Amino acid sequence: MNITNLFSNINPREVIKNLPDAVFVIDSDGRIIWANYKAAVIFESNANDLKGLNFDEIVANGMQLADKSYSKRNSVVTGAFTIEGKEFFIEMNARKYGEQYFITIRDITAMTNVLAIAEKNGRLNKEKNIMFVKLSNEFKSPIQSIIGFSQALLDGLGGEITEKQNKYVKIINKNASELLYFMEKFLEFSNAESSLFHFQGQKFDLVNTIQTIVKNNEENLNAKSITVEYDFEEFSKKAVYNDEDAVKIVLQNILETSIKLTDIGTITIKVSHPDMDVVEKSGARIFKDSNSMSYVEITISDTGIGLAESEMDGIFEPYTQLDKAHKKTILRSITLGTAYTVLKRTGGALWVNSEVMKGSAFHIILPVEKELQPAE
């Protein structure tokens, strides 16, 4: 039999209709325009009742996750609802053809116990983070007292002390200061992960914000003879829209890391509008009708010692670093993990390229239009 003739007799619509997975065709506004028989079975309805519904009505964050699945080229897991409101779990894959989404869905409710445990653990983790943040003063106040009183002793406010006592008090002061810094970074990360973090969009001057952060770090830059250079030639927007406080946290943490990796040399901060393929590959949130001007890319590159491949593994994931003995590695991961988490929650993305003895380049993608404000 001629195989070409065999396939010429197959009706694609009939094949799709009888696939073992649910199949939806969604228009650019998120409306269901077609569904197969399996979709009707899974969602305990019939295909005609599903037509015309908004996809988000039956799949939690449906269109947002469809964009993620399409841009990442992989499946996503989420919750779904029948028309009667019964909840279950699905695995979803999305592809885009023109202005329409072609979405396949598989019921994975059999994995509910596994997912429920994961959800419970995630919720408990968030609740612990909230507790840490709310108790921040209880953690920090005693350490600040140790720093303050030890400094007073060094300044002679408690009377004259011996050379040996002076040496010990300096050690106390130094270690307490390092502990306070660690606690502040840890609590900052806990806040970024918790539900206490809220996006607060506003218009602000990005260039001025960057220069302010650099100025705040002048003492550390001068101590290491590091020169900061700017490259804003490819950046045309003066006022951008995002959460300025969140952006400041990101810039501060990345600049801190870059300074620590550089003993002497140059840190270059470049701001430009990235190509959309860069935005899509970065993992930043993709919005309808967005273009290159809807985003900025901030690159902070240095001429420092760089990072080895082993140091790059889990660099944005503090929890994966807990089995590593080096305190600096854990602190760096907490600092960068905060920047990574905050950027994700503002719709952006972060990645790093680094080579030992050649320096590192931290890349930030940030949506900068009001219409691209991320949902809570």
Structure tokens at 260: 């620590």
Q: Are 295 and 274 in contact (CB under 8 A)?
A: yes
Q: For the chain, what is the mean pLDDT?
A: 85
Residue 117 lies in a domain: no
CA distance 225 to 264: 5
User: How many C-beta atoms surround the C-beta of residue 301 within 10 A?
Assistant: 21
Q: Residue 174 carries which side chain, given as an amino acid letter?
A: K
40 and 166 inside one domain:
no
Portion of the chain with pLDDT greater than 70, in percent: 84
132 and 224 inside one domain:
no
Query: For residue 214, how many C-alpha atoms fall within 13 Å in the half-sphere facing its CB?
Result: 16
The whole-number average pLDDT for the span 176-201 is 86
Q: Are 58 and 82 in contact (CB under 8 A)?
A: yes
Domain boundary, last residue among 107, 136, 171: 107
* Ranges of H-type helices in 33-111: 37-42, 47-50, 55-58, 62-72
CA distance 88 to 111: 10
Conformational region of residue 352, where left means phi above 0, alpha means psi within -120 to 50, and beta covers everything else: beta
144 and 290 inside one domain:
no
CA distance 252 to 307: 19
pLDDT tens digits for 98-135?
889 999 999 887 665 554 555 555 555 556 666 666 67
Count Cβ atoms within 10 A of the Cβ of residue 183 and give its class: 0-12 exposed, 13-18 middle, 19 or more buried: middle
Alpha-carbon dihedral of residues 86, 92, 95, 98, nearest 10 degrees? Answer: 10
Residue 311 lies in a domain: yes
Q: Strand ranges (DSSP E) for the chain? A: 22-26, 32-35, 76-81, 87-97, 100-107, 202-205, 226-231, 239-242, 265-272, 295-302, 349-355, 359-367
Domain boundary, last residue among 107, 140, 160: 107
Greatest mean pLDDT among 2-11, 49-58, 164-173 lies in 164-173
Identify the pLDDT of residue 133. 63
Residue 234 belongs to domain with CATH number: 3.30.565.10
Residue 239 lies in a domain: yes
214 and 351 inside one domain:
yes
239 and 343 inside one domain:
yes
209 and 186 inside one domain:
no
Q: Residue 204 carries which side chain, given as an amino acid letter?
A: F
Identify the pLDDT of residue 3. 41
Query: For residue 288, how many C-alpha atoms fall within 13 Å in the half-sphere facing its CB?
Result: 12
Identify the pLDDT of residue 71. 86
User: How many C-beta atoms surround the C-beta of residue 324 within 10 A?
Assistant: 15
Q: Are 90 and 39 in contact (CB under 8 A)?
A: no
Q: Tell me which residue has tokens 């003995």.
A: 325
Using the 8-state DSSP alphabet, how is residue 292 labeled? G
249 and 350 inside one domain:
yes
pLDDT tens digits for 228-284?
999 999 887 778 999 999 999 999 999 999 999 999 999 999 999 999 999 999 989
Q: Are 54 and 34 in contact (CB under 8 A)?
A: no
The confidence band for 372, taking pLDDT boundaries of 50, 70 and 90, is low
Domain boundary, last residue among 55, 73, 107: 107
Select the more confidently predicted residue: 7 or 147: 147
Cα angle: 340, vertex 341, 347; to 5 degrees: 90
Structure tokens at 206: 């990005």
Residue 173 lies in a domain: yes
76 and 130 inside one domain:
no
pLDDT tens digits for 303-350?
999 999 888 888 998 877 666 656 678 889 999 999 999 999 999 999
- Residue 43 reports pLDDT greater than 50: yes
184 and 51 inside one domain:
no
Alpha-carbon dihedral of residues 197, 198, 203, 209, nearest 10 degrees? Answer: 0
Largest separation between any pair of C-alpha atoms in the chain: 103
Residue 67 lies in a domain: yes
293 and 348 inside one domain:
yes
The torsion angles phi and psi of 263, rounded to 5 degrees, stand at -85, -35
In whole angstroms, how far apart are CA 49 and each of 45, 46, 57, 171? 7, 6, 13, 72
281 and 327 inside one domain:
yes
Domain that holds residue 156: 126-193
Residue 114 lies in a domain: no
Distance of CA 107 to the CA centre of its chain: 28
Identify the pLDDT of residue 310. 83
Q: How many domains does the chain have?
A: 3
Distance of CA 185 to the CA centre of its chain: 17
pTM: 0.64
Residue 113 lies in a domain: no
Q: Are 306 and 354 in contact (CB under 8 A)?
A: yes
74 and 8 inside one domain:
yes
Residue 70 belongs to domain with CATH number: 3.30.450.20
Residue 26 lies in a domain: yes
pLDDT tens digits for 207-227?
999 999 999 999 999 999 999
Count Cβ atoms within 10 A of the Cβ of residue 359 and give its class: 0-12 exposed, 13-18 middle, 19 or more buried: buried
